[in-house]
Amino acid sequence: MSEAVRIQGGSVLAGGAFVETTLTIEDGRIAALGANTHKGRTLDAQGLYVLPGIVDIHGDAFERQLMPRPGVHFPAAMGLKDSDRQAIANGITTVFHGVTASWEPGLRSIDNARAIVTAVEDLKDNLAADTRLHLRYEAFNLDAEAEVADWLAARRIDMLGFNDHMIWENTPPRVRKLSQMAERAGLSPEDFTALVERLRGRAEEVPAATERLAAAARAGGVPTLSHDDMSPEQRRWFRARDCRVAEFPTTIETAEEATAAGDDIVLGAPNVVRGGSHVGWINAADMIARGFCTVLASDYYYPAPLLAAFRLAADGIAPLTQAWTYVAASAARAARLNDRGTLTPGLRADLIVVDGSSLATPNVVATLVQGRIVHLTEPDRLH
């Protein structure tokens, strides 16, 4: 069990506002706000923000540790440990690795997904962040349906995303994407094209397989997400199957439809940090200003959630109290994790202490996961 800690002198985000108070942690949970009788160790947070830990429900930056260059592979355990260090240094206390189970061979294959699922199970008790799995199931990976259903029944995965990156149009962006995917899969463009053409012939099987997996997730209590919804009709189709999280909708109309129905909408934190989508789709900051976003995720860059929340505040789009809900409370809700996301007595003591003196470059001074200090850049603050 983690030791007792008192965080004193900081500006604590509690009840939707920042308050200068003391936060006490005991037995891995937030014991009290405001009490000052604790006899354990004290973390001096003078001049710093005390914030709920980031809940990152979609991040695949760990893939760079597994394959830093095309065709260059490292063991899953090695990559996961390095990714864990990156996550906690950037304030992520709950990390959902976006593991793709695709019809592609190579990095995103079902074989590699199987290895990562096993590695997370073997390692998670020794990782600093609470490490979970968001399985990104590719719709045309029909041969893997039964195995994924078994994983859902056994609760080996924590979220199920419905993805469809099949290549259809013979347009220049798609041609470039085909080349990139072929390189990642370790196939020649010709062999990759032949694989795509074979799978296209099974398109009629895809909707029923998706429905069966959605039902399996519902039965297992696993939340589901639809990825890259391209129309309100597509969002409604997934909602009818109890998929209430729209991940990276590609049009304003789709985001508006999701919002009207009370669905969660996940957008990329890098989109906010960079000032737009790297693939030319909707602008996340604009969607937030219009009320069409509830969650920001790291996507491909672990520092992005922290940076995005402060960027929204700096740009006057949302106060930090609101911006932080996108990376903490709302993200926890979308993942159905009711024991974290806010600094409330009785909840897990997952929190971070941040130097926000520069809104452009906030710095995580300390990260605590279930009350345990797992990252500290200014050790003189701990007494």
Domain boundaries of the chain, sorted by first residue: 5-50+345-381, 53-334
CA-to-CA distance for 42 and 141, rounded, in angstroms?
52
Task: Give the pLDDT of residue 172.
Answer: 47
User: Considering just the CA atoms, what is the radius of gyration of the chain in Å?
Assistant: 21
pLDDT by residue for the chain (383 residues), tens only, comes to: 567 999 999 999 999 999 999 999 999 999 999 976 666 899 999 999 999 999 999 999 999 999 898 888 899 999 999 999 999 999 999 999 999 999 999 889 999 999 999 999 999 999 999 999 999 999 999 999 999 999 999 999 999 999 998 877 654 444 557 788 888 888 888 898 899 899 999 999 999 999 999 999 999 999 999 999 999 999 999 999 999 999 999 999 999 999 999 999 999 999 999 997 776 778 999 999 999 999 999 999 999 999 999 999 999 999 999 999 999 999 999 999 999 999 999 999 999 999 999 999 999 999 999 999 999 999 999 99
What does residue 35 show for φ and ψ, rounded to 5 degrees?
-70, 145
53-334 domain in CATH 3.20.20.140? yes
Pick the CATH number of 5-50+345-381 from 3.30.450.90, 2.40.30.260, 2.30.40.10, 3.40.50.360: 2.30.40.10
Note the pLDDT tens digit of each residue in 176-188: 577 888 888 888 8
Tokens of 240: 């009818």
Around 271, how many Cα atoms within 13 Å sit in the side-chain half-sphere? 23
Q: Where are the beta strands (DSSP E) in 215-362?
A: 224-227, 245-247, 264-268, 295-297, 351-355
Please name the residue ranges forming H helices in 169-225.
172-185, 189-200, 206-220
Using the CB atoms, write b or e for 18-43: b if 16+ within 10 Å. beebbbbbbebbbbbbeeeebeeebb
